[in-house]
Amino acid sequence: MEQNRFAAAFKQNAIWLVFIIEIAIFAYFNPKFLGLANIVNISRQVSYYGIASIGMTFVILIAGIDLSIGSIIALVNVVCAYLMMNMGWNMWLAILVSIIMATLIGVLNGWMVASIGIPAIIATFASQTVFRGLSYLLSGGLPIPGVVLENPTFGFFARWSLNRWAVFKAMGDIGLIPICAIIMVICFAVGSFILNKSYFGRYFYAIGGNEEASELSGIRVNKMKYLIYALSGFFAGLAGIVLLSRSGSAQSTAAIGFEFEVITCVVLGGVSVAGGIGHMSGVIAGVLIIGSLKSGMIMMNVSEYTQMVVQGLVLAVAVGFDCFSKKRQAS
């Protein structure tokens, strides 16, 4: 029995072992991979994946999917930049409005899935197309540059590190932690709290495990779906702000195919595509694996096209492993 418990614990945390092996391989081929500059760079790079993956985790936990997050990010980019640059809005107000808009798009997705009964993949695919189109319409297909140049404080989210402040300068290397990485960590802490310590998290697992039983036990399943898709929209909006802060200019072509990378992170982290199973700690590992993989491949001069092939294979392997283990369990 003890042996089985050890095996179960090992299985649950095996993803971290994969991460360590991956790091070791990249460090072996390029010692700079473990350099401070690269670690800081990876933490910046993974931050918006990490933030968006929290909402996606909730959605996949209820056996749903949200294909619209890439378009939400692009629209948030364009709307936020448009409000600031073309309409002269205050930065914080523009951010607030953009994030509220992203959350409302999530609510719209929830409405289509829960109230109309459109399959999640179709509903969110429709949203993806509509909101990508809207972002093109609003920007005229052109980038909106100079967001950070004209509003230097906007760089706070992705460009700033703790060492901007004197108190952290004294701490040396610790002060290099980018603000966006701290935002990601806070978001993961909130996501983990929701899943593990709140009734909402319990409801998410219950709906993913057995929707009808959840309904009979008093969970308002439709309302929960609204909430989950709204959360997915909210986190995508936040990721969009971080991305805009990083790139400094808004582009309607931003985050194309982003949803598949986020799904890869989540599924790689052990969240079952059948719903009801998954942990936030696994998702963190999934995000770090994908971030390190991208960074490692860039450092090894792997072409962008090959990177796409590798990422696609990782998604196929992660989903395949989940399906295979379910099939083996059933046979």
Partner 1 sequence: MYEIDGELLPYYTEIDPQKRLVILDSLPDCEAADFAREVYNDRYSDHERKGRKNIDWWLWRCICLQILYGRGGFFKRFRDREIDAITNELRMNDSDESHAPYLYHEYRNTARRYLSTCNSPGYASRFMGFRQASGDEKILKACSDIWQMSEGISRIAGNGGKMRLWISAFRDEIAEYDTVCLDEYERLSREEK
Q: Where does this chain bind partner 1 (CB under 8 A)?
A: 1, 4, 8-9, 12, 60, 63-65, 119-121, 196-197, 199, 202, 205-206, 209-214, 216-220, 273-277, 279, 281, 319, 323, 326, 329-330
The total of other beta-carbon atoms located within 10 Å of residue 71's CB is: 28
Find the shortest distance in angstroms from Cβ 151 to partner 1: 39
Spatial separation of the C-alpha atoms in residues 64 and 272, rounded to whole Å: 11
Find the shortest distance in angstroms from Cβ 290 to partner 1: 20
Spatial separation of the C-alpha atoms in residues 29 and 299, rounded to whole Å: 9
Find the shortest distance in angstroms from Cβ 56 to partner 1: 11
Find the shortest distance in angstroms from Cβ 74 to partner 1: 23
> Which residue type, as a one-letter code, is found at position 41?
N
Integer angstrom CA distances of residue 206 from 41, 113, 211, 256: 38, 18, 7, 32
Of 164 and 220, the one with the shorter C-beta distance to partner 1 is 220
Q: What share of the chain is helix, strand, coil (3-state, %, to 5)?
A: 80, 0, 20
Of 159 and 326, the one with the shorter C-beta distance to partner 1 is 326
Of 21 and 213, the one with the shorter C-beta distance to partner 1 is 213
Task: Please give the DSSP secondary-structure letter assigned to residue 35.
Answer: S
Of 12 and 153, the one with the shorter C-beta distance to partner 1 is 12
Find the shortest distance in angstroms from Cβ 140 to partner 1: 35
Integer angstrom CA distances of residue 105 from 137, 174, 234, 324: 17, 37, 9, 34
Task: Please give the DSSP secondary-structure letter assigned to residue 165.
Answer: S
Of 10 and 92, the one with the shorter C-beta distance to partner 1 is 10
